Amino acid sequence: MTTNMQVLLASRPTGWVTEENFKTVSTPVPAPADGQVLVRNHYLSLDPYMRGRMNDTKSYAAKQEIDAVMVGGTVGEVIESKNPKFKAGDIVVGAYGWQQYGCSDGAGLNKVDVSRVPMSAYLGVIGMPGVTAWVGLLDICQPKAGETVVVSAASGAVGSAVGQIAKLKGCRAVGIAGGKEKCDYVVNELGFDACVDYKAGRLRQDLKAATPDGIDCYFENVGGEILDAVLARTNAFSRVAVCGLISQYNATEPYGVKTFQAILVNRIKVQGFIVSDRLNLWPPALKDLADWVASGKLKYRETIAQGLENAPKAFIGLLKGQNFGKQLVKLI
């Protein structure tokens, strides 16, 4: 194989992303110059934040440029190195984006230990999504043992870690997920105390039943009606970490949050965060996560699309909640 397949942003979506917003091209595999390293990517990470980058609006990150390779985290193997810090065979995590090969000076590339866990975990539970769960729950929400922690998108890469970490800290963990299969997984496999199926049509009643002592911490991934239902169940001095609002990313009209007054009445702290703002917390978070995964205390699940050409479809599925656990694309 001498070509490097790449997926570029072809056009910016209005509302829902479609496959036509992407285009696939083949370019020559780059030859590393002195100081550079060439990596064959094994897995590409698909994450909701990418939807925001596709917009032409002010945001916390630089927008994705048209006709440029889509941004994204990758893990793969060094196949040629002219950089003394790396050698062929090293397994490295980086951000080469939606392409089969990456070539760079090695900045931001980290070698990972695949003796205890498979390399794909470094894009999920021991990577950005896991650190996101750790930071939002432990640094922002700071739950105390015995408190009730609720997390939306509970079977996803971030949500599944949030609930399990809450359990490790002695909390009652309640998930919100779409469909019986995901809810069963969250309770039976991951050990949450309860999970509310928001597609069942009884969101408020089911959430009330699952949180008999109210809600002390909420880890928000979705927004919309679920946010309103949760805020209505909050206790005094509760904390809300706003990590994502995936229900809004493709909406043409923003949802109007009707329970804002709960923030006043219950003296809630609501805080939005982006894990890349908190680089100082990555080392302690990654250490905890790796230990918990290696010792079997922190489980994870992956949905793996096969082949880069299927990345756009898999990404659209992710935005619609069709994945189950961490969404990856296997590139070889």
For a copy of itself, the binding residues (CB under 8 A) are 52, 58-60, 223, 227, 236, 242-245, 248, 254-261, 263-274, 277
Distance from C-alpha of 311 to C-alpha of 319, rounded to nearest angstrom: 12
Shortest CB 141 distance to a copy of itself, Å: 13
Distance from C-alpha of 222 to C-alpha of 67, rounded to nearest angstrom: 29
Q: Of the two residues 168 and 263, which places its CB atom closer to a copy of itself in the complex? A: 263
Q: Of the two residues 52 and 179, which places its CB atom closer to a copy of itself in the complex? A: 52
Distance from C-alpha of 114 to C-alpha of 93, rounded to nearest angstrom: 11
Cβ-contact 126, 286 below 8 angstroms: yes
Distance from C-alpha of 155 to C-alpha of 134, rounded to nearest angstrom: 16
Shortest CB 222 distance to a copy of itself, Å: 11
Q: Of the two residues 20 and 277, which places its CB atom closer to a copy of itself in the complex? A: 277
Shortest CB 277 distance to a copy of itself, Å: 6
Give the total residue count for the chain.
332
Shortest CB 117 distance to a copy of itself, Å: 30
Shortest CB 231 distance to a copy of itself, Å: 10
Q: Which residues, in sequence order, are CB contacts of 284 under 8 Å at separation 6+? A: none
Cβ-contact 238, 264 below 8 angstroms: no
Query: Residue for token digits 């949030």?
Result: 162
Residue 32 buriedness (CB in 10 A; 0-12 / 13-18 / 19+): buried
Q: Of the two residues 115 and 252, which places its CB atom closer to a copy of itself in the complex? A: 252
Cβ-contact 330, 306 below 8 angstroms: yes
Q: DSSP 3-state assignment of 303? A: strand
Q: Of the two residues 2 and 261, which places its CB atom closer to a copy of itself in the complex? A: 261
Q: Which letter, b or e, does each residue of 225-250 get, where b requires 16 or more Cβ atoms within 10 Å of its Cβ?
A: ebbbbbbebbbeebbbbbbbbbbebe
Shortest CB 150 distance to a copy of itself, Å: 17
Shortest CB 88 distance to a copy of itself, Å: 40
Distance from C-alpha of 35 to C-alpha of 18, rounded to nearest angstrom: 39
Q: Of the two residues 145 and 264, which places its CB atom closer to a copy of itself in the complex? A: 264
Query: Residue for token digits 């193997």?
Result: 77
Q: Of the two residues 140 and 187, which places its CB atom closer to a copy of itself in the complex? A: 140
